Every structure is written in structure tokens, then in C-alpha cells.
Amino acid sequence: MAKALEGIKILDFTHVQSGPTCTQLLAWFGADVIKVERPGEGDITRGQLRDIPDADSLYFTMLNHNKRSITLDTKAPEGKKVLEELVRTCDVLVENFAPGVLKRMGFSWERIQELNPKMIVASVKGFGPGPYEDCKVYENVAQCAGGAASTTGFDDGPPLVTGAQIGDSGTGLHLALGIVAALYQRNTSGRGQQVLAAMQDGVLNLCRVKLRDQQRLAHGPLKEYPQFPHGEFGDTVPRAGNASGGGQPGWILKCKGWETDPNAYIYFIAQAPVWEKICNVIGKPEWITDPEYAKPAARLPKLKDIFATVEEWTMTKTKFEAMEILNKFDIPCGPILSMKEIAEDQSLRATGTIVEVDHPTRGKYLSVGNPIKLSDSPTEVTRSPLLGEHTEEILRDVLGFDENRIAEIRNSGAVGQAQRLAAE
């Protein structure tokens, strides 16, 4: 079956996490993703957080599925020539180097346009234009600068970063959307363009509700926050613990076994339309008509006590038992799932959200597949490439070089030695 982005060639100059998540998505939608890596070491993540000696790390393999790898010293004269040919041939160049790197390499936007006016140049940077534009940025820096850390955690504790990689993978997602939009516009304009996704901007976009609350604060206390009614509100959005970011109050509650299992908890939402059902389930039918509890506004100052009462009920059930009962009554809730439970979840395996992949040097491992499902463009997850595995194939089939030219490039040292498959 044809794929959504079939025929699109991506010159993938990305490394670490943010850029690779973007190009991996494009590869899953059918683009031919050619990853350019430095001879010898390649993407630094190949060797980071290694669990198996001499095998590409899970860090690398889980971010670089369905790609081809060419090793190229883009600072060497022959390497530069090959890169120029790749720019002429590909549709999109994606990069997440530190600011200024691409220009120092000799590939400014102007130069790229000279080589290929249809090329889309897509970049992840830490910050957009402004005082921090020259800074190098990693995930947690973006979480802090984008407003996530100041609004995450409990009021009496320090700012917290989240486990979800909203700075890296989140920005990769934003960039992928920008690339697809630019490809669409190119159909009518005939021109390429620059696409920039700054990590600070991406995180802030995901923290949109907190900028909403910053402005609501000018009109009085945030009544759904745990600080209300007893705590003090300052002039900035406080950390809200596990309170819901939306209009329906919620909290994380203990379930049976919480004393020994760190994940025996459930997220419980006291949704107004099902208040009556909630009262019946937890054994508080009198709250249905009691004016102190019957209406959402009356409940807001008592949320802490209400959730404590609901918790008395959830603590008598496992998180899965509670989930089953609450769902019968359409009461929104969600179990706190551990990574172990997610890895073993058969329904996630069935949809391809969790996949098992085989790799020649590390063997079988689990990965997260494509979370976006297209009915006419199904995703088959294939393993990440070994370093430089497709160098010759790309020089021959993508750039059309003959054997003499390939030998010339190899002899110049610009492509280094490819990592070989164990079977060879």
C-alpha cells in the first residue's frame, strides 16, 4: 500500500532527540529519510546510556527507525560536495544543530536556495530570535524556559520537570507539522521555505492553559486549584499538584495496595454531569441534594475534603477494579500505569503503539510505534540503521554516482568506514 509521504526525500541532519523524533515520524509516513552522520561516531546517542556493550543504545534505536544512514564528513571538501548533491536531490533538510552550525559548514539559507530553490529547511532551536537565540538547549532547559517547570509539582516543593519529553519530542512533533504544511504550500508556490520550531515555544504551546490561568488570576483566586480557599495566591500561577488543568476538578487518589505499590493510584475526575452517580458509587447519596454539595460552584471550596471521601472508597479497590466500576457509570478516571504495565499491555501491542523490533547487534527490543494512525498509510516499524550502513547505496541509487566516483569519495576519507552487519 502506498504511504502518505512516499516520494519525499528528507536530508536528515538531526541528532540527539528533538530532530530525530520529527524525521522518524516522517519516515513512518513513508518519506525516504537519509540520516547524515559524522564518520566514526555518528549521532552521539548511539553510544549514550548503553545497556549492551558495542551495540547501538536504545536511546538511538528508539528514535531512528525506518531511516537510512550515510556517514559524511561535511567539513571535508569531498564531503561538502556530496552534501551539495544531497541538497539538490532532497525535498527537505531537517536539522537541530546548535545555532550557527549549518552556516559555519557553508550551508546558509541563501546557499541552500541557490542549490535548490524548492528545498524546505526545517530547524529545531532552543529559542526563537531574542536574547537567548544563541544558546544550546536540552530537554529540561526547554521545560524550564517554556513555563512547564514553574507550573509543575506541589506548591510547597521546588519546580519539577516532567517525564514526558515535551521539549524534545514535543518540538519534534511541532516541526513535523510545519514540514508537512510547507510541503503542501510548495505544491502551489513552487518554492521552499524555512520552518523553525523553537523548543521554548513548543513547550509554551503545550502550557497554554497556564498562560490562561495567569490572566484569570487578575480577576480573583483560581478556585479549582488546591490553594483555594485557604492558601495564598501570589501574582503568578502557582504549582497545582495533581489538579486538573480544565474545567472539571480532578485529583490522584490512593487505591488498594498503595502502601507497597508506588503506582496503586487512580486519577479521578469529579465531572459535574455525573455528580449524582459519583455520590451513589462512593456511598454519599445525601450529597446529591445537599445545597452545600449539589452544585459545582458550591463544591469548589471543599474539593480537598470531597476527594478525601472519594479516596476512602478507592482505597477499597485496586486501580483496575475502581476503573471498571467507575467506567460503568461514565465517571471519567484513569489508572496510573507503570512502564512495566504499559510494556505488557496487549491492546497497545495490537494497535502497533508498542512494537517489538529485531536488531542485528542488540537483538529484540520494545519500542513505541507510530502514535498517529492513518487508515490509508499504515506504519511498519523497521530497525534503525547501523552507522553508515547505506552510504554506498545512497551514493549510487540516490545520487546516481558511478563506481569510480564512489571510490574517489571513499579514498578521500570523507565517508569513513561503515559499520558492518554481523552476518557479513
Q: Which of 9, 78, 105, 296 binds ligand COA (CB under 6 A)?
A: 105
Site string for ligand COA, 106-125 (x = CB under 6 A): ------------------xx
213 is in an annotated binding site: no
Q: Based on CB atoms, which residue is closest to ligand COA, 227 or 391?
A: 391
Answer yes or no whether residue 17 interacts with ligand COA by CB under 6 A.
yes
Q: Known binder of ligand: residue 136?
A: yes
Residue 359, C-beta contacts closer than 8 angstroms, at least 6 positions apart:
55, 56, 61, 365, 383, 384
The rounded distance, in Å, linking the Cα atoms of 252 and 244 is: 10
Residue of 43, 56, 168, 213 marked catalytic:
168
Taking CB under 6 A as the binding criterion, the range among 12-20, 217-225, 351-359, 381-389 that sits at the site for ligand COA is 12-20
CB of 418 to ligand COA, least distance (A): 14
Measured in whole angstroms, the distance separating CA 300 from the mean position of its chain's CA atoms is 34
120-125 and 92-95 strand pairing: parallel
Question: Minimum Å distance from CB 97 to ligand COA?
Answer: 4
Beta-bridge partners for 196: 123
- Binding residues for ligand COA, total number by CB under 6 A: 23
Cα 323-328-320 angle, rounded to 5 deg:
15
Closer to ligand COA by Cβ: residue 101 or 308: 101
**Upstream peptide bond of 249 is cis (omega within 30 degrees of 0):** no
Ligand-binding site membership of 96 (annotated): yes
Q: Which is nearer to ligand COA, 29 or 97 (CB)?
A: 97
Was 195 annotated as part of a binding site?
no
Instruction: Using the rule CB under 6 A, give the single segment among 96-104, 145-153, 237-245, 253-261 that binds ligand COA.
Output: 96-104
Q: Determine how β-strand 9-13 pairs with β-strand 194-198.
A: unpaired
Site residues for ligand COA, 227-246, by CB under 6 A, read none
Cell 558511478 locates to 402
Known catalytic residue: 168? Answer: yes
129 SS3 class: coil
- Which range of residues in 57-65, 68-76, 146-154, 189-197 is near ligand COA by CB under 6 A? 68-76
Helical residues (DSSP H) of 249-355, grouped into ranges: 275-281, 296-299, 303-314, 319-328, 339-343, 346-350
d(CA 248, CA 336): 19
Q: Which stretch binds ligand COA (CB under 6 A): 98-106, 223-231, 383-391, 406-414?
A: 98-106
Q: Enter the DSSP assignment of 16.
A: T
Cβ atoms of 38 and 413 within 8 Å: the answer is: no
CB 406 within 8 A of CB 396: yes
Interface with ligand COA in residues 122-181 (CB under 6 A): 124-126, 136-138, 168
Residue 70 or 281: which CB sits closer to ligand COA?
Answer: 70
The amino acid that residue 291 corresponds to is: P
Neighbour order of strands in the sheet with 194-198: 67-71, 32-37, 9-13, 92-95, 120-125, 194-198
**Least Cβ distance, residue 81 to ligand COA (angstroms):** 13
- Alpha-carbon torsion angle 288, 289, 292, 296, nearest 10: 50
Q: 72, 79 in Cβ contact below 8 A?
A: yes
- 74 annotated to bind ligand: yes
Among left, alpha and beta (phi > 0; psi -120 to 50; other), residue 178 is: alpha
Please identify which residue in 61, 74, 152, 227 interacts with ligand COA, judged by CB under 6 A: 74
Residue 140 marked as a ligand binder: no
Q: Which is nearer to ligand COA, 136 or 373 (CB)?
A: 136
Position of cell 490522584?
Answer: 252
From 27-35, 91-99, 180-188, 273-281, span contacting ligand COA (CB under 6 A) = 91-99
Q: Which segment (16-24, 156-164, 326-334, 339-347) binds ligand COA by CB under 6 A? A: 16-24
- Per the annotation, does 18 bind a ligand? yes
Q: Does 38 bind ligand COA (CB under 6 A)?
A: yes
Least separation in angstroms between residue 132's CB and ligand COA is 11
398: its cell numbers: 540516490
> Is 104 near ligand COA (CB under 6 A)?
yes
If we measure between CA atoms, which residue out of 132, 104, 98, 125 comes closest to residue 194?
125
Strands 333-335 and 265-269: antiparallel
CA–CA separation, 173 and 225 (whole Å): 30
Q: Which is nearer to ligand COA, 124 or 282 (CB)?
A: 124
Residues annotated in a binding site for substrate: 246-248
Would you name the residues annotated as active-site residues?
168
Could you list the residues that contact ligand COA (CB under 6 A)? Answer: 16-19, 36, 38, 72-75, 96-98, 101, 104-105, 124-126, 136-138, 168
Residues annotated in a binding site for CoA: 17-18, 38, 72-75, 96-98, 104, 136-139
